[in-house]
Amino acid sequence: MKRTEEKKIKIRIIIVGVIFTVFYLVIGAKAAYEQIYRGPTLSQKAADQYEKMYYASGKRGTIYDSKHKEMGVSIDSISIGAYPKKIKDKKDDSKTIAKYLDVNEKRLLKKLNSKKSFVWIKRHVTPKKAKNIKDLNFEGVDFIKEHTRVYPKKTIAAQLIGFSGIDGKGLEGIEFYYDSYLEGEDAEQVVIKDALGRGFDHEKRVSDYNGNNLILTIDSTIQYIAERALEKTVNDFGARSGMAIIMDPKTGAILAHAHYPFFNLNSFGKYDRGLWRNRAITDPFEPGSTMKTFLAAAAIESGYCSPDSIFQCNGEHNIEEELWEGAKEKQWKTLQQIIKFSDNNGAVKVAEMIGNKNLYNTLKDFGFGSKTGIDCPGETSGSLKSYLRWSKVEAGTISYGYGISVSAIQLITAVSAIANGGVLMKPYIVKAITDENGQFVSSFRPQRVRRVISETTAKTVRDIMATVTTSGGTGVGAAIEGFKVSGKTGTARKINKKGEYEKGKCIASFIGFAPGDNPELAVLVTVDEPQIKHSGGAVAAPAFKKIVSETFNYLTITPQIAAVRK
């Protein structure tokens, strides 16, 4: 009896053990259910509570011109967003908000009904409007400090500077090219909050997110001078468009980079996209007679010629507007005269003398056919075929600028090499990057690419080019009293869609530098399809003169100073 009772007790003890084991298994099963099966849902719910989106949009850096004037600057603005999950009465709220903010009610409601954790209601509103909404105390509506990009100089250097979009991302021009430097850091970040709403991660100061500033080589006053002159020229001649570039030939720094027609960076969306393009960098064109400059350089450098070498030409002066149509009355001209009068036939003769290879190599050394490496997006390399593939006609036409295409930046860079004594410089737009406190992050020094021609050759070519602006020369319109001005005109016929050269559609250009023997400025002016007059000498040379003389005025470069510097 006692034995059996003891046994029963032991059995009951085991029963208790088994029951508790079942209890523990139930716990384990429930844990598996909550942690494995329901885990993702629960953790999302948890995250919704303790994660708060924190928008620390660092300010985009400022773009300054070389005189530290603001070209592009970000100012504080407020954007309104919403956490759809936290909004209870979506229909009612969207109605009210739509009314206050002047946004489409249906579209707003659609946004609020979306599954996204955050949506924008309206970006960049005025503080007053934001306050109106704030006062209504909507749950789930958030106000985020953002920045709006403003371009105080509006149209100035618009194609060069480019712009940034609503998210503060650079879309065009310098804004695009230097976006990684300019942009403020990490615009949004998740901050973990405890139940009392305090952040646990150490929040960075917003200023830590600020982007860097750019200091351009552009001087906005010179830019303004160039733009006004360009505007006047294009309008006076009923042209389609124009470009003007001013370079410091010694360094390759771009002082002005003008395109016409203008567009206002603050409302870029209202303009035709075609206007946004930095055409001086991206668009190749047939340069025409300005190329003779480099032909002359090749001729002198080759040693076969001197300025006084005589060539038998077909007798037509300044035949640019009529393509080379074969020999007429024969006439003897020196190399210098060929340049001065821009004699295509003479140019062909010069090219024949120095040979294709020589010409090709010199052009190549001047940077044609390859990118200059300027710090702008979308640069074209133009086209310069290898001399081995030149046809007989091409071998001649290339000498006066057909059958080759160049960009405006290539042209000004190449001519600067002649101006500075024979060294090709790399053109650049940004001379320094500074942080928000103005401390230098990096600065860019002028970069030599290569020596193209000897100093003597360069001087000889400069002298030849100086005759262009003297009496009888094609570029006499560019002459500035008291200064020696070297230059070369160009009047290039445009090719139409059929691949034919079209009469009356030209690119008139002038390329040059001054003061003649120690050039401070190299300037290129091109005018697309001038109507009243067509030649570079008539259209572009006066613009060149206006730009250079006004800029000299601004820089207080006087004939005396120029002489002393010489």
Residues that bind other proteins (CB under 8 A): 5-6, 8-10, 12-14, 16-17, 20-21, 23-24, 26-28, 30-32, 34-36, 38-43, 45-47, 49-50, 192, 194-196, 200
CA 555 to chain centre: 26
Show the beta-strand stretches assigned E in 159-252: 188-192, 213-216, 241-248
d(CA 276, CA 301): 40
For residue 452, the surrounding DSSP H or E stretch is none
Query: In the complex, what is the shortest distance from the CB of residue 30 to other proteins, in angstroms, rounded to a whole number?
Result: 4
What's the closest the beta carbon of residue 96 comes to other proteins, in angstroms? 25
* In the complex, minimum distance from the CB of residue 202 to other proteins, in angstroms, rounded to a whole number: 15
Task: Indicate the residue among 30 and 205 with the shorter CB distance to other proteins.
Answer: 30
Give me 33's structure tokens.
């259910």
Question: Closest CB to other proteins among 54 and 501?
Answer: 54
Minimum distance of other proteins from residue 190's CB (angstroms): 12
492 by Cβ neighbours in 10 Å (0-12 / 13-18 / 19+) ranks as buried
Smallest separation, CB 126 to other proteins (Å): 35
Beta carbon nearer to other proteins, 38 or 330:
38
Select 30 or 91, whichever has its Cβ closest to other proteins.
Answer: 30
Give catalytic status of residue 289 as yes or no: yes
Shortest approach of other proteins to residue 87 CB, angstroms? 16
* Contact call for residues 342 and 336 (beta carbons, < 8 A): no
Nearer to other proteins, 136 or 192 (CB): 192
- State the minimum distance, in angstroms, from the CB of residue 43 to other proteins: 4
Radius of gyration for the alpha carbons in the chain, expressed in angstroms and rounded: 35
Tokens standing for residue 387: 């001399």
User: What's 34's DSSP letter?
Assistant: I
Please state the closest distance from residue 118 (CB atom) to other proteins, in A. Answer: 20
Q: Phi and psi at residue 237, in whole multiples of 5°?
A: -100, 10
First-to-last alpha carbon distance for the chain, in angstroms, is: 133
**88/107 with CB nearer other proteins:** 88
Angle at CA 430, nearest 5°, toward 429 and 433? 175
Let me know: does 188 contact 53? Beta carbons within 8 Å.
yes
Beta-strand runs (E) in 455-537: 486-495, 501-514, 521-528
Q: Are 130 and 188 in contact (CB under 8 A)?
A: no
Looking at residue 478, the DSSP 8-state letter turns out to be: G
250/504 Cα distance (integer angstroms): 37
Which two structure tokens, joined as six digits, stand for 552? 């000299």
Distance CA(132)–CA(520), nearest Å, equals 57
Give the H/E segment covering residue 434: strand 430-434
Angle between helices 292-302 and 408-419 (to 10 degrees): 40
- Residue corresponding to tokens 């930046």: 409
Of the residues 57, 79, 94, 289, only one is catalytic, namely 289
Closer to other proteins by Cβ: residue 43 or 370? 43
For other proteins, the closer CB: 50 or 224: 50
Q: How far is CA 231 from the centre of its chain?
A: 20
Any idea which residues carry the catalytic annotation? 289
